[in-house]
Amino acid sequence: MRSELPYILVLYYSRSGATADMARQIAKGVESIPGIEARLRTVPPVSPVSEAVAPEIPEQGAVYVDHDDLRHASGLALGSPTRFGNMASPVKYFLDTTSSLWLNGAMIDKPACAFTSTASLHGGQETTLVSMLLPLLHHGMVYAGIPYSETALLETQGGGTPYGASHLAGPRSDRPVDEHERALCVAQGKRMARLGLALAAMREAR
């Protein structure tokens, strides 16, 4: 039976597991705040064969997202590996199917954040996060980064930016999410949970 609690949708794409690991840490942060849950969902890969249809259940990872997951969410944490300094096409492809939500203003005044993983430290974490912010602003969402009161932002030797959580996977994609990167994922999840509850109260009071 599905819970009636409000939830933050933690929606990601991941091919080799790093962004999926970050998503689980963000979900942990969300669930550490009473009164709200995390809902982990992924997007199907895209295929060069335009008529290809994804199976209902992915081979691994979270269940595929649908528009209702987004419509009823109290906030969105959106994760993508960096692809040439930008979000991966499956994430963009899914966002491009959300115009009915945009038309209805379903995401207006809900909090949003982004997270990413890269192979190289200067390989585009910030540009990817900023590229992910753009469609979320078009949806009227309230974008939340990570404030420098999170000291891991100053201490990290890997990922972690004020634009959102990030992770350095290394050239062989085998560097685990380290202590500072994990702390920032959890902090981002907590912040989304608090903002999700606060903005839901604000929308109800209107």
Ligand X SMILES: Cc1cc2nc3c(=O)[nH]c(=O)nc-3n(C[C@H](O)[C@H](O)[C@H](O)COP(=O)(O)O)c2cc1C
User: Judged by CB under 6 A, which stretch of 102-110, 115-123, 144-152, 198-206 contacts ligand X?
Assistant: 115-123
* Residues 110 and 68 sit within 8 Å (Cβ to Cβ): no
Going by the DSSP 8-state scheme, the letter that residue 164 receives in this structure is B
Interaction with ligand X in 1-60: which residues (CB under 6 A)? 14-20
**CB closer to ligand X, 88 vs 195:** 88
Q: Taking Cα atoms as reference points, which of 174, 177, 78, 62 lies closest to residue 128? A: 78
Of 14 and 25, nearer to ligand X (C-beta) is: 14
In the complex with ligand X, the residue whose CB is nearer, 88 or 146, is 88
Compute how many residues bind ligand X; rule: CB under 6 A.
20
H-helix or E-strand spanning residue 93 = helix 89-95
Residue of 117, 131, 156, 188 interacting with ligand X (CB under 6 A): 117
Check binding of 118 to ligand X (CB under 6 A).
yes
Secondary structure of residue 194 in the 3-state scheme: helix
Using CB under 6 A, pick the residue from 25, 42, 82, 156 that binds ligand X. Answer: 82
Q: Are 90 and 81 in contact (CB under 8 A)?
A: no
- For residue 15, the minimal CB distance to ligand X (Å) is 4
Contact flag: residue 120 with ligand X (CB under 6 A): yes
Q: Which is nearer to ligand X, 84 or 148 (CB)?
A: 84
Give the orientation angle of helix 18-31 with respect to helix 179-205, to 10 degrees.
50
Cα 163 from Cα 124, distance rounded (Å): 12
Task: Report if residue 173 touches ligand X, rule: CB under 6 A.
Answer: yes
